[in-house]
Amino acid sequence: MDERNVEYDSRALIIDGVRKIIISGSIHYTRSTPEMWPYLIQKAKEGGLDAIDTSIFWNIHEPRRRQYNFAGNLNFTEFFLKVKEAGLYGILRIGPYINAHWNFGGFPEWLSNIPGIKFRTDSDLFKNEIQRFITHIVNIAKAQKLFASQGGPIILAQIENEYGSVLDGYGDAGQTYLQWTAKLAVAQNIGIPWIMTQQYQTPASMIDAFNGFYGHNFLPYDATNPKIWTENWTGWYKKWGDKDQIRAPEDLAYAVARFFQARGVVQNYYMYHGGTNFGRTAGQFVTTSYDFNAPIDEYGNLNQPTWKHLQNLHAAIKVGEKFLTSINATVTTNKLVKGFDGGVQLTAYTFEATGERFCFLSNALTDPQDVQLELNKTFHVPPWSVSILENCYKQIFNTATFDSYNVTSMERKLGEDAPAKLNWVWREEYMQDTLQGNGTLQENELTDQKVITQDQSDFLWYMTSVNNDEKTPKNVTLSVHVAGEVIYAFVNGAYLGTHAGTNFDFERPTSLEPGINNITLLTATVGLQFSGVAFEAIPEGIPEGPVKLIGEYSTTDLSAHHWSLKVGLNGEALKLYDPKSQSGKWWTDTLPVASCMTWYKANFEAPPGTEPVKLDLQGMGKGHAWVNGNSIGRYWVTQIADPAGGCQPLCNYRGTNNNITLCYTNCGEPTQRWYHVPRSFLYEGPNTLILLEEAGGDPSNVHFEVAGPKKKHVLFFLISTQLISNFNKIIIINNQIIIHVYVI
């Protein structure tokens, strides 16, 4: 393919002289599998997208310093080549910081262990590392001719991410770093525009862009730059213990239409397909599912009615592309009804020479409006909606009005295709060494967990001993201050209990036997912090304590004792998660339940067909799951969403004063019960499921299901205390009636 020239002005991206608006969607190559990429990209194209946006995840590409990995679902060049094959453009967000609710914000943990380094500021140590990595990524992309200037798909690139949110915390050093990153980007000489997000007053060589739920009021700092919305949030991510947070498709479409009404040029859905946080990639307390209520769900199914509604919206907007992008089109906005955020207003893009027009009629009010335009044409505009009008006369789309169509659910249990229950074998995690205080590292003080583990395991053992010189047992309270996120405590091999959180005090009563007593503390991370000023300095585990034994008359502080440390579990070292591992013996006698630190294994046949598969872990506690040695992520089924969390069967799609109205579901249920098992992880013959249960669970009811399109449990509506007098649209989904209503 010939080289492409990418330019811009305030009204368009100009690609080889053709003026364009770009509708894009985020699909992270790391959160799906290479086998899923062609389908996801094709469905994005069918949905009306022009481009696919993705980030570069430094920590999985360079998990150890100077050791790189671009295999499998880490092959970002292959991902962009698939984008190119589909005839779509690409947007590359190169980092080095990405957030993305990803472990450590995308930074490799070893980076924080470089003495004297400070992240995202004027630190030579930091700048040297990011210059090396970004240049490495750019060179790989250039070698595959991925940039538009080489004939490739990538038309925009982003450096840094949302730096304006933390800039004040870094002071003058932050300003220096900001200017330096812009120069670093330009020096890559990739021949396409660079952008920065959430960064007011960006360097002149950068285009500033916006992230948020509504982008129509955003204005670039430089008025000659295009208006770019890099993250239009289709929903929200979840942390363990959260309920589901759903964004109504009416509101999402409203936001997009308002953006292009207000001279928007590039709009990107974050996410268009959210996918799965496989392995240990999720950020602190972030769930394994990264569904994000995206138009394509975690499993690859179309999330209806959102996907279809947006497809129709995109087609309507593209009808007016020549008007929206032309410097010869006159833009006028007439306010027809006063109110918040413009009330009811008509925006017309007009070619004066021919009289041709393309219009947006928006209603930001709480009530529907009947609006009379010229030639006595009256339009009924539902509240919180935008009507798109061809030639300002023919309505071709309204953001709050759906086409009627059916969605057939494929969701079913395996039934005759597989046994109802799995046959399990099991083995305990070997802990005799750590329970007796035998570690591999020796320290004279407590220390930050991530400094020791370098994020190669969730687990770190802290072990010490104390002498009870009395002749009888001594009742005490073990008190431990934990930075995060989970602690399991043992005294003399007896399990005392567990707790989770950040910066909390764990206390349990115990008894010290006469003589030497072993104190064993196991801490577990649940992903590392991913945002904030100097977040790399936030400690994990038990970095300083205190660790105390509180007696009736005295307190003993163990913080400065001699501590023995050990990284990880013995089962991890033995690779018990790998079915090919020959280490140790698995037991077949009575299946233990509610037993902490236990490994379970079961063989199963893959369900027939090609539909996505999910694993139901109902009954389990907290742990990690593998299928055929592939990690499908952490699980934590005992984290229950607040039963009084505000979930309602009816959902008001309308925002308030540009504040999003997210609709809540799943109150009183596990935050995540089902876990995605990609088809590419499965064999035609026997397959192996392995669970590491940390806290205690019962695998008796664990089973696989086919993951079909979601069943909708929310009725989106707009209603007041008045009687309903007009039904807007009825949709039948999974034999449920979804009624969209408004009040006159």
Active site residues: 162, 231
Helix (H, G, I), strand (E, B) or coil at 105: helix
Tally: H helices and E strands in the chain? 12, 41
The rounded distance, in Å, linking the Cα atoms of 328 and 357 is 12
In sequence order, the 6+-apart residues with CB closer than 8 A to the CB of 683 are: 606, 628
Contacts of 21 (CB under 8 A, 6+ apart): 12, 13, 260, 264, 265, 266, 267, 317, 318, 321, 324, 325
Buried b (16+ CB within 10 A) or exposed e, 656-678: eeeebbbbbbbbeebbbbbbbbb
Structure token digits, residue 289: 């599912």
- Tokens coding 266: 């590039």
Contact partners, residue 394, CB within 8 Å, separation at least 6: none
The SS3 call for residue 194 is strand
Enumerate residues 6+ apart whose C-beta is below 8 A from 721: none
Of 236, 197, 232, 226, the residue nearest 214 (C-alpha):
232
| Alpha helix (H) residue ranges in 19-75 | 37-46, 58-61
Instruction: Report the Cα 214 to chain-centroid distance in Å.
Output: 19
- Closest by CA position to 369, among listed 331, 338, 390, 396: 338
Sheet holding 598-605, edge to edge: 424-428, 598-605, 686-693, 622-627, 630-636
Contact (CB, 8 A) for 149 and 190: yes
**How far apart, in whole angstroms, are the C-alpha atoms of residue 180 and residue 422?**
57
* Nearest Cα to Cα of residue 526 among 434, 623, 447: 623
93 φ, ψ (degrees, to nearest 5): -105, 100
Cα gap 566→593, rounded to integer Å: 27
Cβ contacts of 432 within 8 Å, gap of 6 or more:
none
Q: Confirm if 260 and 19 have CB atoms less than 8 A apart.
A: no
Burial-class residue 585 by CB neighbours within 10 Å (0-12, 13-18, 19+).
exposed
Please give the structure tokens belonging to residue 602.
Answer: 């079961």
Q: Exposed e or buried b for every residue in 347-373, given b needs 16+ CB within 10 A?
A: bbbbeeeeeebbbbbbbbbebbbebeb
Do 343 and 386 contact (CB within 8 A), yes or no?
Answer: no
Tokens for 375, please give them. 């030639």
Residues 6 or more apart whose CB falls under 8 angstroms from that of 553 comprise none
